[in-house]
């Protein structure tokens, strides 16, 4: 039977609960235990697919095409697991299931209530999503005290009661602020947060105390006394300069030892050598490059979480310090392309909506003309195709029908059907709900021999994740190829253009999928490594 660790948050949000949970999973894995991770999100959206990246950060896409919370990205990057549809449950999804069952008459006339029907649905979702792992870590989004998290907290309280002390453990992540005027750290918010948790029947076993400085043992003792937690289990979670240092930090604070002891697991000693290698590679770069990141949400770093991580991973694996120069594509439209001078490479990430689109097209144009390495991801590939059609093929009004439905040359357009992750055929038309019309999840792509992309990946087939509605329009395929655009990746049925590149350019690749979802710190990702290597080369060639 799986053991469960429930992780809640207190005092304020954004304390890094997802990263702390994922780091603990990484340590437990490094002790030979199998883990699985689940995120419970108290908001009412059925999934984050329709939520703005401004507000909620990136939508992370799993292999099986679930649009999920960005914390699942941390889970996959830290722990060697594949998340899926059953890794993320929101209030909306739980209620949707319960209401569908009520409509079918499954409750046999009962009054359907939060307790027990909603809480049972939450418990069953968790219990059915263990994947048979030794330890399942379940993170509850939001902060204790929020009205909307109550059913989730009640459900995990019940699970603790039902499965017993030896099988369930509660971790509460809190903040220990430092007050500069008093010159002291303050434990009161933590005391109150635990009080709140205990008032709904959950006694935390471990407190992870987020702080910007070490927490003296006297203060830890005080927290322990007020919260009924042993002093060893009041664990300082002090700021570090890089997230991949956290597994070692938490291990050194004894976190995994408390967990394995409590569950009575005889786990081998920890081996964190691969994390140490990641950290050491990060700290000893041999090159440095400036990558222009031309997007719409550039001031919201969470909006491109996986992409920023992927560039870091590539830096680790190519021994390069990768500086990301954020460039708002609106700014290119108003102030011109001078901001693209002196970069070592240009990246245009995925995106939706027409704002800043001409700025992105101008960035692709600049990279093509000036022979600067260019990586276009999803929308970034689409703008590269539009740019090529306009400026090389001479179709000056070429566009995507997403931005100009009346364009005479829709080089990017909606297509009516495609093959899904599970082999089923998905049909799409313009009248379907916004949330449900995307090509989502991992799909196999064949790489064309002799291309830059094939060389970068070093393999014939890849399996990368999609999240988009619009596609390369095959009616323009021949013309674009005749004009010199190289198609370097095709869907398995040869129907969809997945990757384009340029032959008369040192490194220019646009891909319809999102490679950032499969990049991992310990392994890196071939496309990003190749892109950063190209930037290093470009930078070297620039020097006198």
Determine if 378 is a binding residue for ligand GLN (CB under 6 A): yes
Binder to ligand GLN among 94, 118, 168, 379 (CB under 6 A)? 379
DSSP for 219-263?
Answer: HHHHHHHHHT--GGGEEEEE--SSGGGHHHHHHHTTHHHHHHHHH
Q: How far is the CB of 336 from ligand GLN (least distance, A)?
A: 24
By the rule CB under 6 A, 399 interacts with ligand GLN? no
Nearer to ligand GLN, 156 or 357 (CB): 357
Candidate list 58, 196, 387, 516, residue with the active-site label? 516
Residue from 43, 107, 352, 418 binding ligand GLN (CB under 6 A): 352
Among 210, 287, 469, 505, binds ligand GLN (CB under 6 A): 469
516 is a catalytic site residue: yes
Q: Which residue's CB is nearer to ligand GLN, number 49 or number 189? A: 49
| 91-94: Cβ within 8 A, 24+ apart | 91/41, 91/42, 91/43, 91/44, 91/148, 91/151, 91/152, 92/43, 92/44, 92/45, 92/46, 92/47, 93/46, 93/47, 94/118, 94/121, 94/122, 94/125, 94/151
Q: Which stretch binds ligand GLN (CB under 6 A): 5-13, 38-46, 149-157, 464-472?
A: 464-472
Contact stretch for ligand GLN (CB under 6 A) within 117-125, 323-331, 466-474, 485-493: 466-474
Distance between CA atoms of residues 435 and 446, nearest Å:
28
Candidate ranges 62-70, 105-113, 201-209, 345-353; the one touching ligand GLN (CB under 6 A): 345-353
Neighbouring CB atoms inside 10 A of 542's CB total: 10
Asked whether the beta carbons of 151 and 196 are under 8 A apart, the reply is: no
Residues between 261 and 300 with contacts to ligand GLN, criterion CB under 6 A: none
Q: Considering only residues 64, 71, 402, 464, which one is a binding residue for ligand GLN as defined by CB under 6 A? A: 402
Binding-site size for ligand GLN (CB under 6 A) equals 10
Cα–Cα distance, 129 to 224 (Å, whole number): 33
Binding mask 63-82 for ligand GLN (x = CB under 6 A): --------------------
Active site residue 514: yes
Residue placing its CB nearer to ligand GLN in the complex, 58 or 121: 58
Annotated catalytic, 378? yes
Please state, in angstroms and rounded to a whole number, the distance separating the CA atoms of residues 178 and 2. Answer: 38
Helices (H), 266-409: 273-283, 305-318, 329-335, 357-369, 379-391
For ligand GLN, the binding residues (CB under 6 A) are 350-352, 378-379, 402, 467-470
Return the active site residues: 378, 514, 516
């Amino acid at each position: 039977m799986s053991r469960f660790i429930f992780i809640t948050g207190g005092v304020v949000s954004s304390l890094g609960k997802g990263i702390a949970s994922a780091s603990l999973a990484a340590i437990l894995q490094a002790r030979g235990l199998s883990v699985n991770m689940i995120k419970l999100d108290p908001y009412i959206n059925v999934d984050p697919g329709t939520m703005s990246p401004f507000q909620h950060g990136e939508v992370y896409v799993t292999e099986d095409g679930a649009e999920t919370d960005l914390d699942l990205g941390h889970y996959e990057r830290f722990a060697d697991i594949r998340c899926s549809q059953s890794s993320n449950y929101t209030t909306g999804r739980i209620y949707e299931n319960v209401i569908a069952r009520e409509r079918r008459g499954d409750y046999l006339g009962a009054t359907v209530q939060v307790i027990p029907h909603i809480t049972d649905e939450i418990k069953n979702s968790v219990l059915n999503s263990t994947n048979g792992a030794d330890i399942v870590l379940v993170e509850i989004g939001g902060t204790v005290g929020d009205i909307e998290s109550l059913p989730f907290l009640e459900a995990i309280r019940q699970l603790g009661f039902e499965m017993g002390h030896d099988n369930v453990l509660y971790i509460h992540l809190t903040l220990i602020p430092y007050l500069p005027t008093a010159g002291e750290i303050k434990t009161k918010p933590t005391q109150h947060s635990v009080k709140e948790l205990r008032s709904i029947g959950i006694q935390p076993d471990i407190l992870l105390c987020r702080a910007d400085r070490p927490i003296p043992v006297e203060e830890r003792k005080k927290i322990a006394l007020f919260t009924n937690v042993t002093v060893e289990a009041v664990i300082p979670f002090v700021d570090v300069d890089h997230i991949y240092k956290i597994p070692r930090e938490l291990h050194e604070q004894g976190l995994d030892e408390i967990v394995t002891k409590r569950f009575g697991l005889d786990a081998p000693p920890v081996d964190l050598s691969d994390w140490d290698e990641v950290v050491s590679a990060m700290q000893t770069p041999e090159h440095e490059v400036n990558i222009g990141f031309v997007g719409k949400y550039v001031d919201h770093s969470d909006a491109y979480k996986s992409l920023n991580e992927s560039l870091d991973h590539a830096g680790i694996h190519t021994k390069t310090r990768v500086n990301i120069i954020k460039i708002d594509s609106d700014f290119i439209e108003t102030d011109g392309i001078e901001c693209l001078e002196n970069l070592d490479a240009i990246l245009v990430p995925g995106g939706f909506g027409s704002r800043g689109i001409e700025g992105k097209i101008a960035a692709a144009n600049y990279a093509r003309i000036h022979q600067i390495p260019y990586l276009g991801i999803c929308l970034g590939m689409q703008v590269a195709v539009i740019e090529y059609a306009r400026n090389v093929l001479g179709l000056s009004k070429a566009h995507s029908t997403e931005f100009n439905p009346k364009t005479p040359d829709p080089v990017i357009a909606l297509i009516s059907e495609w093959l899904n992750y599970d082999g089923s055929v998905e049909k799409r038309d313009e009248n379907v709900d916004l949330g449900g019309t995307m090509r989502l999840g991992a799909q196999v792509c064949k790489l064309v021999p002799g291309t830059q992309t094939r060389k970068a990946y070093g393999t014939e087939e890849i399996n990368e994740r999609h999240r988009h509605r619009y596609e390369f329009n095959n009616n323009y395929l021949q013309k674009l190829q005749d004009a010199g655009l190289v198609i370097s990746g095709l869907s398995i049925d040869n129907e969809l253009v997945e990757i384009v590149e340029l032959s008369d350019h040192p490194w220019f690749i646009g891909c319809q999928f999102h490679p950032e979802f499969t990049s991992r710190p310990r392994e890196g990702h071939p496309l990003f490594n190749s892109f950063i290597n190209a930037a290093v080369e470009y930078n070297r060639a620039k020097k006198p």
